[in-house]
Amino acid sequence: MLQDAHIHIQDLKNSAFIDDFLNAASAQAIDRFFGCAITPADWPMVESLASRCHGLVPFFGIHPWFADMPTPGWENDLRALLEKYPGAGVGETGLDRTRKNIDMDVQKDIFRRHLVIAREFSRPFALHCVRAWPDTLALIKENAGGLAFCAHSFYGTPEILAEVLSLGGYASFSAKQLLKPDDILKPLVAATPVDRILIETDFPYQTKWTTSADYVSTLRLAYEVAAGIKGLKLQEFTEAVFKTGAVLSKFVPS
Ligand SMILES: [Zn+2]
């Protein structure tokens, strides 16, 4: 009963390969994936995957790296998808200060529009935040306080973690960082209540893989490391995280 809280499997492009990959992963006990879109161009692919792949919960949005190229009418298209899929979330959305080529005001505007829509539909959202926590937290407070959100690949100070949690957020820790020998996430995982922890791979990014078995074993190892930090048995921890994921994923394929 494993769950991957953040993937972009549509980026592999080849539908037959993706189906085989997800089916193989499901057969190895991965029962839920949060499949995050990054531009309106991949919304149809994510929608289609959610309709045919076991456990894939779709999130629709525009990643901050693509905030400068929204398609006309994207907000109405997003609303239509959320109406059609009552369990779908909003995102990946957020702010990234390392992307110097995309004006921060443009990023903030697009992010704010996502938050307004998430609030309008009471949906969870998948958050991307790199070196922009003060602005990100302020925008969430103003527009979407109390909505559940997945702070993807969370890394920040304990103070930021506390704010994320108090705003309704869930800290999603990445397999890549959990498996590094530097233990950089240890104090953050330790400080996050079990019912606010998510684990993700950001597949096909961050993680080295050639087969679905590599992918599954990386995810499983990440759960083992985090369970160890929390002092819980692996099964107890994976069940708790899966239960947490249900809060952000009431998606049932139509
Ligand atoms: Zn992502």
- Phi, psi angle pair for 15, to nearest 5°: -60, -45
**Tokens read off for 194:** 């079990």
Distance 109 CA to ligand 1 centre (A): 19
Can you tell me which residue has the tokens 């045919």?
A: 52
Task: Reply yes or no on whether the pLDDT at 250 is more than 80.
Answer: no
Spatial contact of 169 and 149, defined as CB atoms under 8 Å apart? yes
Mean model confidence pLDDT for the chain: 94
Distance 220 CA to ligand 1 centre (A): 19
* Residue 139: how many other CB atoms lie within 10 Å: 18
Distance 12 CA to ligand 1 centre (A): 14
- Phi, psi angle pair for 87, to nearest 5°: -100, 0
Distance 92 CA to ligand 1 centre (A): 6
Task: Reply yes or no on whether the pLDDT at 252 is more than 70.
Answer: no
The reported pLDDT for the residue numbered 71 is 92
What average pLDDT does this structure show over 219-232? 97
* Residue 33: how many other CB atoms lie within 10 Å: 29
Expressed in percent and rounded to 5, the helix, strand and coil fractions of the chain are 50, 20, 30
Q: How many Cα atoms are found within 13 Å in the side-chain-facing hemisphere of 143? A: 24
Report the CATH architecture of 2-247: Alpha-Beta Barrel (3.20)
**Tokens read off for 60:** 């629709």
Helix (H) or strand (E) holding 4: strand 2-7
Rounded-to-integer distance, Cα 54 and Cα 26, Å: 7
Distance 7 CA to ligand 1 centre (A): 7
Spatial contact of 195 and 230, defined as CB atoms under 8 Å apart? no
The reported pLDDT for the residue numbered 253 is 44
Spell out the SS3 assignment of 56-100: EEEEECCCHHHCCCCCCCHHHHHHHHHHHCCCCEEEEEEEECCCC
* pLDDT tens-digit series, residues 152-180: 999 999 999 999 999 999 999 999 999 99
* pLDDT tens-digit series, residues 124-160: 999 999 999 999 999 999 999 889 999 999 999 999 9
Q: Is the peptide bond before 92 cis (omega within 30 degrees of 0)?
A: yes
Q: Where are the domains of the chain?
A: 2-247
More confident residue, 28 or 43: 43
Distance 127 CA to ligand 1 centre (A): 8
What pTM was estimated for this model as a whole?
0.95
Neighbouring-strand partners of residue 95:
129
Task: Reply yes or no on whether the pLDDT at 254 is more than 70.
Answer: no
Distance 205 CA to ligand 1 centre (A): 8
What average pLDDT does this structure show over 87-102? 95
User: Which of 41-45, 93-97, 225-229, 250-254 is predicted least confidently?
Assistant: 250-254
Distance 36 CA to ligand 1 centre (A): 7
Distance 130 CA to ligand 1 centre (A): 12
Distance 191 CA to ligand 1 centre (A): 24
Spatial contact of 243 and 32, defined as CB atoms under 8 Å apart? no
